[in-house]
Amino acid sequence: MGSDGGTCDDRVGVVTRYAVPPDNGPLGAARAPARVLGVDPGLTRCGLGVIEGVPGRPPALVAAGVVRTGADQDVAARLLAIEEEIERWLTEYRPDTVAVERVFSQHNVRTVMGTAQAGAVAIVCAARRGLPVALHTPSEVKAAVTGNGRADKAQVTAMVMRLLRMTERPSPADTADALALAICHLWRAPAIRMRQATAAGTRTAPDGSNVRRLTGGGT
């Protein structure tokens, strides 16, 4: 999903944003819509995407963009620029949850280090505000969005555009990846909560509340 290759702007913290299409319509009355900020981490390009919706239904696009930092800049300045922009997005769009790509080891150690550093910045920004953070692997994202955990970038981008009713292809790919992360989490959130409730010894009631699961043979 994430990539730090390609050309970049020489300035630190340059942000590219996309025009937001009209709202997708009603998001469902049974459950209040949730807003998710997806972060596709990277030092050269850090994709950001905000969506809003309910599980099981096409979400609405709120905002999408990418933070660019120059490869010739000091790493501390690059991470600071990413942190400042993520903070601005958190303030402006007020997401309920932040979804970040889970970083796996790659052959290029330098690239994976930068990706992990940018991802950690996003996690810290969310934690500072008390927001839940979810980590999703690239295969989880691909499976959630396209139904195929081995889908290529073109397939992911096409499905993101279809689900969000985007008329323009999001570019660079980091923007589409960030939106895909947000969609993945929005749709997987109920299953995640159920697993967490099970691990904590609770089950989820029909109204969404947690019910303590009793064990043992007490009266």
DSSP 31-58: S--EEEEEEE--SSEEEEEEEEE-TTS-
Cis peptide before 172 (omega within 30 of 0): yes
DSSP 123-138: HHHHHHTT--EEEE-H
The reply to whether 185 falls in a domain is yes
The reply to whether 27 falls in a domain is yes
The reply to whether 33 falls in a domain is yes
Amino acid at 143: A
Is pLDDT larger for residue 176 or for residue 204? 176
Q: Is 40 a catalytic residue?
A: yes
Q: Are 103 and 119 a contacting pair, CB within 8 Å?
A: yes
Specify the number of domains making up the chain.
Answer: 1
Tens-digit pLDDT profile for residues 21-63:
444 444 434 578 999 999 999 999 999 999 999 988 899 999 9
The reply to whether 78 falls in a domain is yes
The reply to whether 39 falls in a domain is yes
Q: What is the CATH classification number for the domain harbouring 95?
A: 3.30.420.10
Please name the helix (run of DSSP H) or strand (run of DSSP E) that holds residue 65, with its range, or none: strand 60-68
Computed from CA positions of residues 137, 190, 94, 26, in that sequence, does the dihedral angle turn out positive or negative?
Answer: positive
Question: Is the pLDDT confidence value at 217 over 70?
Answer: no
Q: Are 137 and 104 a contacting pair, CB within 8 Å?
A: yes
Q: Is 174 a catalytic residue?
A: yes
pLDDT for 175 equals 97
Residue 76 tokens read as 């501390």
The single residue listed with the structure tokens 């790659």 is 106
Tens-digit pLDDT profile for residues 103-137:
876 667 778 899 999 999 999 999 999 999 999 99
The reply to whether 195 falls in a domain is no
Tens-digit pLDDT profile for residues 145-178:
999 999 999 999 999 999 999 999 998 999 999 9
Residues of the domain holding 153: 14-189
The reply to whether 138 falls in a domain is yes
The reply to whether 30 falls in a domain is yes
Share of the chain above pLDDT 90, in %: 63
Catalytic residue among 4, 40, 52, 85: 40
Q: Is 23 a catalytic residue?
A: no
Question: Is the pLDDT confidence value at 3 over 50?
Answer: no
Distances (CA, A) of 105 to 15, 111, 115, 145, 157: 27, 10, 10, 23, 24
| Length of the chain in terms of residues written | 219
Catalytic residue among 4, 52, 85, 101: 101
Catalytic residue among 4, 83, 85, 174: 174
Question: Is the pLDDT confidence value at 218 over 60?
Answer: no
Cβ-based burial of 150 (10 A; exposed 0-12, middle 13-18, buried ≥19)? exposed
* Mean pLDDT, residues 93-110: 86
